Amino acid sequence: MSDPIIPPEPVAAPSRAQGRKSIRPSAQPRELMTPVPDLKNVWKAQVITLLPGAFPGILGESLTGKALQDGLWQLETLDLRSFGIGKHRNVDDTPAGGGAGMVLRADVIGPAIQSAQAGAPQNRPLFYLSPRGRPMTQQMMQDLARADGVTLLCGRFEGVDQRVLDHFGMQEVSLGDFVLTGGEIAAQALIDATVRLLPGVLGNASSTEEESFSAGLLEHPQYTRPAVWNDHPIPEVLMSGHHGRIAQWRREQSENLTRIRRPDLWAAYQSGKDDDRA
């Protein structure tokens, strides 16, 4: 049986979150995080983390920050520490079987996930950020943008007890083949890439239709004024005003770049074209 969860100590500003969710009324960027209740039909990211102060972070800036302020999406952090065990709210312990580092405890993570999921809509997938996970892709972000939101668990130390991942059937997703100190940067990358696909977040929706990966190709090179820079002119075709030639040039550039830089994407693109022809 798990030990009782000790409610968090009162902080200077009173919490409106019944001691569970990390919500502190303040004039700082954290006020951008809309707590409960969920706004109807608004995409919501819930982040379970030992470092709630890392949010919104970059997500509070620029287009994602404005969209957060405008209520086009919601962000909520759950402070893992407040689910910690005992007087010191311990969240980790040594690895079973020995070895270096510490592991986040199942009886800490479990209640945090249950708290996040209480009352959450069905269609809010649960992801654990992990270097062992499926690499993030644009397709993943497009699928997530069509869901009601996402609940993200950020690991620290050596990671989390496997039993909690198995119990909740968590999907593991990776930012890439390298090891970060914690899942927070990966969580912010995933949220950023998804939120920009939500309706109304980008001024110009067609920009997400023409960018890298949207058609299975890398994007063509981009240029802007001045027309000549350090003796390098903008390619003549782009100055021609001939839309058909410009579109053809861009397509060729995209295909060449993808073939040279990303043979994996190129092969998938080619086989997709073959399927279309079949």
Ligand X SMILES: C[S@@+](CC[C@H](N)C(=O)[O-])C[C@H]1O[C@@H](n2cnc3c(N)ncnc32)[C@H](O)[C@@H]1O
User: What minimum distance in Å lies between the beta carbon of 175 and ligand X?
Assistant: 4
Does residue 248 belong to the site contacting ligand X (CB under 6 A)?
Answer: no
Structure tokens at 96: 């079973």
- What is the CB-side half-sphere exposure of residue 273 using CA atoms within 13 A? 9
Nearest CA to 105 out of 184, 29, 161 is that of 161
The residue among 176 and 235 lying less far from ligand X, judged by its C-beta, is 176
Distance in Å, CB of 101 to ligand X, minimum = 7
Subset of residues 184 to 203 that bind ligand X, contact rule: CB under 6 A: 186
Please tell me whether residue 178 binds ligand X under the rule CB under 6 A.
yes
Q: How far is the CB of 114 from ligand X (least distance, A)?
A: 19
CA distances from 180 to 160, 171, 175, 188 (A): 14, 18, 9, 13
> What tokens does 186 get?
């990966």
Backbone angles phi, psi at 156, to 5 degrees: -145, 175
**Nearest CB to ligand X, comparing residues 187 and 238:** 187
* Contact between 190 and 150 (Cβ < 8 Å): yes
Residue type, 15: S
- Nearest distance from C-beta of residue 195 to ligand X, angstroms: 18
Of the ranges 58-66, 111-119, 173-181, 219-227, which one interacts with ligand X (CB under 6 A)? Answer: 173-181
Give the nearer residue to ligand X in terms of CB position, either 132 or 251.
132
List contacts with ligand X (CB under 6 A): 129-132, 154-156, 158-159, 174-176, 178-183, 186
